[in-house]
A and B are shown apart, each in its own frame.
Chain A
């Protein structure tokens, strides 16, 4: 599917970033002079040490933080100019997955998935948590996709970390987005469970043709899932390329001269 979409997509990038910079109140500079384009169907991995600005970059794209400099376009709309209702409508097309899952812990798994449809729900029914049957069916279907249909009625905090993150993936799917931002989606999971979550994000990218921007810590995961990667260091974009071009020298240039890859696979 992504192969078919590629020629048309080459013209309009899904995300275009120009001169993006961010200084947090208090004076910490998190990003400087970022230029970047992400194309339809890509799985872009964002690498960098912690504190290098990965989360800030992702949050500037859907405006969870307001960048101090530069401009961001999504599907040719300038996000950095949108306000109120326009911004909310654009956010519907951009799902986000977080390192800490960020589920509503006291709600059921199903209600958490349903919250992915809030952007298109009617206000008053949604405030009493009443959703149309069609949405409930879709939510159950999303849950089935991540293999958790049988846990629909459980409270979210009764699930294991890996399961919670799969609920978050189902919530993202429920949103019917065109772009997924994933901020270290497996960093707080047991290494053995990482693929169980990454596989589902990969499926969204491969089967649904969704564009994914995903920050990752682990080089193994990058090589296995990403179609392209960019690296941040101290808030600047220091490298971009294909997974096959990523070698030990590049690794050192991103992580510093003293760094060693955590495992030997891939080099």
Chain B
């Protein structure tokens, strides 16, 4: 049983929360100030070295980030000190929730509300400038793109045979990546489930390690994994299998473990009460409940992997994407059209089949 010292515990938590709230406020205020400066610079009519108006990167380069961060920290500290009169700051509201007395106030009645309104407003203006939105180009320069659309609409049959063969490769590539991911994700799912890892310090450690590792692996895009494996095992479908495999292990582990976290603990209790060992409790109390959703997730994952392997092919990971890239570069839009249609048909078919199977299982 965990017995905590209540007093020490609450003061410790309170100070951690104030620090978090303060940091959030400082960053938000600094961003708001920087976005303000960005508008000022953009509309100052200044010109860059080429004589043209400043581009987005040049504007961003001119902003005084350090100064705004300093100002943000100072203003956040002021807001924290004056919270009694100014109302809760955005950071405090996020970390601790909106205080009792302010819940019924409209946004126009709190400083935090005005802050949020101005912040959202400025985000739109700044975003417009930074991403160089160009409505004129969008509406008037369709001409060249029209060639591509025309090509897609008139697929050429010259690439059909090769396309079909690589399509088969794509589907199997996705299948192998998924199949290899299943056993590893299955084993990792148990230490990654919160409800099974409360028992001991070792179990909690296993939870933290596997969760952190999987979150990291999942955060890296399959495209990046593909680049890593291409330089490891060389260009070709095997690199694609490895890239999708790594990503699938991480994402299946997450899906599986979330499923384990939502089981009915009753059967676990019943099996524990018979004097069964931990493995037996998992086998009888957990596994039967999670098998159908596991199957369903796995088929869905295969489906996703087919889609992803197209893009992976673009960088050399095998499959149909591999022959799509050069044709896009050369502007052979008829052949691109054929390949795109093949991919679309496969994805649509996989979607249909996987939905039907999953319907049956659950």
- Beyond A66-B1, A127-B280, A127-B283, whether A104 also contacts B272 by CB under 8 A is no
B288–A119 touching, CB < 8 Å: no
Q: Which of B24-32, B262-270, B320-328 contacts A (4 or more CB under 8 A)?
A: B262-270
Task: Quote the shortest CB–CB distance from A204 to chain B (angstroms).
Answer: 16
Interface residues of A in 83-128 (CB under 8 A from B): 88-96, 98, 100-107, 115-121, 123, 126-127
Task: Quote the shortest CB–CB distance from A143 to chain B (angstroms).
Answer: 16
Contacts A126-B283, A168-B270 aside, 16 further interface pairs with beta carbons under 8 A come to A25-B1, A64-B272, A64-B273, A66-B1, A88-B277, A91-B273, A98-B266, A101-B266, A102-B269, A103-B267, A104-B289, A105-B289, A106-B289, A118-B275, A119-B276, A123-B277
The answer to the question of B316 belonging to the interface, with a C-beta cut-off of 8 Å to chain A, is no
- B272 contacts across to A, CB distance below 8 A: 64, 91
A181 to B270, CA, bound (A): 11
A100–B276 touching, CB < 8 Å: no
- Beyond A66-B1, A104-B285, A105-B288, whether A116 also contacts B269 by CB under 8 A is no
A119–B274 touching, CB < 8 Å: yes
A115 to B272, CA, bound (A): 10
- B266 contacts across to A, CB distance below 8 A: 98, 100-102
- Beyond A68-B1, A102-B266, A105-B288, whether A115 also contacts B277 by CB under 8 A is no
B270–A88 touching, CB < 8 Å: no
Q: Report which residue of A89, A91, A115 has the largest number of chain B beta carbons within 10 angstroms of its beta carbon.
A: A115
The answer to the question of A163 belonging to the interface, with a C-beta cut-off of 8 Å to chain B, is no
A89 to B275, CA, bound (A): 6
- A68 contacts across to B, CB distance below 8 A: 1, 3
A25–B2 touching, CB < 8 Å: yes
A123 to B289, CA, bound (A): 20
Interface residues of B in 232-282 (CB under 8 A from A): 266-267, 269-277, 279-280
A93 to B275, CA, bound (A): 8
B269–A115 touching, CB < 8 Å: no
- A94 contacts across to B, CB distance below 8 A: 273
- A25 contacts across to B, CB distance below 8 A: 1-2
- A66 contacts across to B, CB distance below 8 A: 1
